[in-house]
Amino acid sequence: MASTEDKMEVIRDMGLVEWLKCEMLSGVASFYQLMHRDGRENQEAVSDVIANIILVAYLLARRLGMTYAAIDLKIQNKIKLGITEDHEVEKRYKDLSELAGYLNRNRRQV
C-alpha cells in the first residue's frame, strides 16, 4: 500500500499537470487574442507567446512521462513526413525543409 508521502507526491504531480494544461490553454488563447488585435504589428508579443506554448508543451510532455528527446524525434519525423508527402506549407514555401535545416544546424552546435 502506498504511503501518505507517495499519495501526496501523486497529488502534487497531478496538480502540476493540470496547471500546465491551463498554461497551454492560456497561451493558445493569448495567441488568438494577439492575432485578432495586432499580431502582425506586435511580433515581440507573438513570439513570446509562441515560445511559452512550446516551453509548456515540452514540460507537459515530461510530466506525462515522455523525454525531451522523444518529443524532438516526433517533431523530426513529422517534418520528414510533411516533406515526403509534399505538405501544403512545404509545397508553397519550403518551410519544413527550412525548419529541418535549422534544427540540424542547431543540433550540431550543442
Question: Is 104 within 8 Å of 83 (Cβ atoms)?
Answer: no
Residues written for the chain: 110
Determine the pLDDT at residue 39: 65
Write down the mean pLDDT value for the chain: 93
Average pLDDT over residues 45-73: 96
Average pLDDT over residues 6-12: 85
Give alpha helix (H) positions in the chain: 4-37, 43-63, 68-84, 88-93, 95-109
Average pLDDT over residues 96-109: 90
Determine the pLDDT at residue 91: 96
The residue among 2 and 30 whose pLDDT is bigger is 30
Reading the block at residue 25, the C-alpha cell is 490553454
Per-domain residue ranges of the chain: 1-66, 67-110
- 110 DSSP assignment: -
Whether pLDDT at 110 is above 60: no
Average pLDDT over residues 49-77: 97
Average pLDDT over residues 53-58: 98
Cα separation, 103 vs 110, whole angstroms: 11
